[in-house]
Amino acid sequence: MSFLTLSITLIFVLIPILLSKTLRLGLEKDTIIATVRSIIQLLAVGYILKFVFDSESLFYIFLMVTLMIVVATHNAQKKGAAIKGITWKVGVTLVFVEVLTQGILIGFNITPPTAQYVISISGMIIGNSMVLAILFLNRFTAEVDDHQDEMELILSLGGTPKQAIHSQLIKSIKASMIPTIESQKTVGLVQLPGMMSGQIIAGADPIQAVQFQLLIIFLLLTTAAVTSVMLGFLSYPTLFNDRMQLLRGK
């Protein structure tokens, strides 16, 4: 695709702008900003990745993955600002998920330890883990706020913090995992995933594309489960003090 052809696709940006203007939604400015930012960010990343892929330097690979984790951590931690130490909790979770998944992929020779594979797959893993962290923190903080009286009652009757928050924790973990599980139930029937579609458009054999897409699907299931569970069990203890009293307020 040439830059001239790409510029024609801006028609798809003009359509929502015109609809927003016609219906007075007030989203024209945000749409333009989002479009400009996406163009600048993706082009910049494209040139950076070309340099990293050509160099095949482990240092640059590590640097790119680290940058992804830092940005994802910064974005996700905003949703759990009320939880003490949420930044390092999210960061540790993302690092663990990345090390676990890449360790399995490289350790079992599923994918080679090259920049092309490590960075591309890490982007999907970390991005998905970030979204799962945001979903979990949104639901978890809401559950704690809505059931504070119930939790304090359990504590007053001699229950432990783990017992008091068990129901809210499990509900939050399940709620954050459901979108991933449900989307994968209809994969291939309702939608052709991005990675698979991209490979087919690039001329890859459809069966080979399906195999790589299945790899990503299995990875995202692990990402969803590990992110939600690990972040949940790292977060809940800090909602209580040493005397097993709930610290959060409504």
Q: Is residue 246 part of a domain?
A: no
Q: Is residue 250 part of a domain?
A: no
| Whether residue 193 is found in the same domain as residue 229 | yes
Nearest of 25, 118, 33 to residue 68 by alpha carbon: 118
Higher pLDDT, 105 or 192: 105
* Residue 102 · residue 122 · CB < 8 Å: yes
Q: Which of 22-31, 76-85, 100-109, 128-137 has the lowest mean pLDDT?
A: 76-85
Q: Is residue 34 part of a domain?
A: yes
| Whether residue 28 is found in the same domain as residue 66 | no
| Whether residue 2 is found in the same domain as residue 102 | no
| Whether residue 104 is found in the same domain as residue 62 | yes
| Whether residue 18 is found in the same domain as residue 62 | no
CA separation for the pair 79, 75 (Å, rounded): 8
Count the Cβ atoms, other than its own, within 10 Å of residue 106.
Answer: 15
pLDDT tens, residue by residue, 12-58? 999 999 999 999 889 999 999 999 999 998 889 888 888 888 887 88
Number of domains in the chain: 2
Domain stop point among 33, 55, 77: 55
CA separation for the pair 137, 231 (Å, rounded): 9
Q: Is residue 131 part of a domain?
A: yes
Q: Is residue 247 part of a domain?
A: no
| Whether residue 8 is found in the same domain as residue 68 | no
| Whether residue 45 is found in the same domain as residue 125 | no
Report, as an integer, the average pLDDT of 121-136. 93
pLDDT band at 126 (very low <50, low <70, confident <90, very high): very high
Higher pLDDT, 79 or 119: 119
pLDDT band at 193 (very low <50, low <70, confident <90, very high): low
Phi and psi at residue 243, to the nearest 5°: -95, 20
- Cβ neighbors of 243 (< 8 A, separation 6 or more) are none
Higher pLDDT, 227 or 180: 227
Q: What is the mean pLDDT of the chain?
A: 88
What is the reported pLDDT for 250? 46
Is the pTM of the predicted complex or chain greater than 0.75? yes
Q: Which domain holds residue 12?
A: 1-55
| Whether residue 119 is found in the same domain as residue 86 | yes
| Whether residue 191 is found in the same domain as residue 84 | yes
Residue with tokens 């229950």: 159
